[in-house]
C-alpha cells in the first residue's frame, strides 16, 4: 500500500528572525475559521498567518487619512464588482473614470474653507512628486530583505513597505514611472546600490582613516562595482587607508555624489 503523502505547511518568510515567543489566546470560531482558510490559501501555518496579519496591522497608520482612503477603496472595489466580466478600474477605462470620480468626490466633500496659499510658502513638496517618490520606494522594496528590529522606526517603515509591495502584487511591474517598470527599477537600484556605501567609506578614509577590515571591504566593493559606478569616483590609491588630511591630501568623491556635510556626519 502506497504511503499517503502529507502536505507540508510552511512558515511565512522569516524576515525578522526566529519566532521564539509563544502566545496563547482565545478567539471566536469565525475568526479561527477565517484564519484557517487564509492559511490554506497561502500554504503556511495558522501561526504564520496570525503573525503576518498582526505585522500588517502595526504597519498601517490609524489616521483620518487612512480611514478616508479605505472608504474610497471600498467604493471603487464595489463599482468594479458591478462592472462584471472581472473588470477593474485598473483594466477598464470606464471604471477608471468612475474611480477617479469617487476619489474627487471625497476630496470635494472634505475640502477646507478658504483659498490655498502658494506651496512654496508652506515649504511642502509637490503632491504628485511625493506620490511618485513613495511609489518608487515601494516598487524597489524587496520583501525578503531582513527587518532590523533594533531600529523600531526603520523596522516599522520596512513592514509598511513589505505590506504595500505584497498588496500591490504584479501591478508595479506593469506600470511605467520615470521610464522604468518596477522590475527595471529594482534591477537598476541593485546595480547602483554600492554607490552610497563606497562614497561613505571614501569619506571615512579621507577624514578618519580605515581599519584593515574596512579598507578590504572598500576594495572589494569597488572592484566588484559595475563600470558605470566606478566612473563616478576618482579615488586615490585604494591600498592607502588614510586619513589623507594628515598627509596633506584630500579625497572627496562624495561631493560629486551630492552628499552634504550633514549626510557625511550622519553616516
Grid cell at residue 60: 498601517
Taking 70 as the threshold, does the pLDDT of residue 197 lie above it? yes
**Sequence ranges of the domains in the chain:** 29-59, 126-182, 193-266
Closest to 223 measured CA to CA, from 255, 198, 187, 190: 198
pLDDT in tens, 198-213: 888 888 888 888 999 9
Give the C-alpha separation, 218 to 199, whole Å: 9
Report the range of poorest mean pLDDT among 11-15, 32-36, 147-151, 250-254.
Answer: 250-254
Q: What is the mean pLDDT of the chain?
A: 82
Say what the pLDDT of residue 152 is: 84
Q: What is the pLDDT of residue 264?
A: 41
Q: Name the DSSP class of 13.
A: P
3-state secondary structure of 180: strand
Q: How far apart are CA 19 and CA 16, in angstroms?
A: 8
pLDDT for the residue numbered 136: 95
Q: Mean pLDDT, to the nearest integer, of 261-267?
A: 40
Answer for the pair 208, 161: CB distance below 8 angstroms, yes or no: no
The interaxial angle of helices 46-59 and 29-42, nearest 10 deg, is: 100
Residues 64, 262: Cα–Cα separation, whole Å:
34
pLDDT given at position 135:
96
DSSP assignment of 51-98 equals HHHHHHHHHS--SHHHHHHHHHHHHHHHHHHHH-TT--TTT-HHHHHH
What pLDDT was estimated at residue 253?
46
Q: What is the DSSP letter of 248?
A: T
Q: Report pTM.
A: 0.67
User: What pLDDT is stored for residue 11 in this prediction?
Assistant: 53
* pLDDT surpassing 80 at residue 257: no
Mean per-residue pLDDT for 12-20? 58
Confidence of residue 130 (pLDDT cuts 50, 70, 90): very high
Amino acid at each position: 500500500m502506497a504511503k499517503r503523502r502529507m502536505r507540508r505547511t510552511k512558515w511565512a518568510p522569516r524576515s525578522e528572525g526566529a519566532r521564539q515567543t509563544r502566545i496563547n489566546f482565545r478567539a471566536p470560531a469565525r475568526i479561527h475559521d477565517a484564519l484557517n482558510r487564509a492559511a490554506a490559501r497561502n500554504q503556511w501555518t495558522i501561526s504564520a498567518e496570525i503573525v503576518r496579519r498582526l505585522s500588517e496591522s502595526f504597519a498601517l497608520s490609524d489616521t483620518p487619512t487612512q480611514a478616508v482612503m479605505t472608504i474610497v477603496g471600498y467604493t471603487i472595489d464595489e463599482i468594479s464588482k458591478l462592472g462584471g466580466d472581472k473588470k477593474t478600474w485598473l483594466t477598464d477605462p470606464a471604471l477608471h473614470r468612475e474611480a477617479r470620480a469617487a476619489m474627487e468626490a471625497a476630496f470635494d466633500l472634505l475640502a477646507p474653507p478658504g483659498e490655498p496659499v502658494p506651496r512654496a510658502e508652506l515649504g511642502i513638496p509637490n503632491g504628485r512628486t511625493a506620490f511618485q517618490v513613495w511609489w518608487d520606494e515601494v516598487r524597489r522594496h524587496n520583501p525578503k530583505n531582513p527587518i532590523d528590529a533594533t531600529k523600531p522606526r526603520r523596522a516599522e517603515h520596512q513592514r509598511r513597505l513589505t505590506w504595500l509591495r505584497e498588496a500591490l502584487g504584479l501591478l508595479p511591474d506593469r506600470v511605467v514611472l520615470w521610464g522604468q517598470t518596477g522590475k527595471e527599477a529594482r534591477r537598476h537600484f541593485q546595480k547602483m546600490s554600492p554607490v552610497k556605501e563606497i562614497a561613505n567609506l571614501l569619506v571615512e578614509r579621507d577624514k578618519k582613516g580605515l581599519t584593515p577590515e574596512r579598507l578590504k571591504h572598500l576594495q572589494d566593493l569597488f572592484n566588484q562595482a559595475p563600470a558605470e559606478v566606478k566612473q563616478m569616483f576618482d579615488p586615490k590609491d585604494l591600498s592607502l587607508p588614510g586619513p589623507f588630511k594628515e598627509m596633506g591630501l584630500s579625497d572627496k568623491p562624495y561631493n560629486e555624489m551630492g552628499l552634504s556635510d550633514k549626510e557625511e556626519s550622519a553616516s
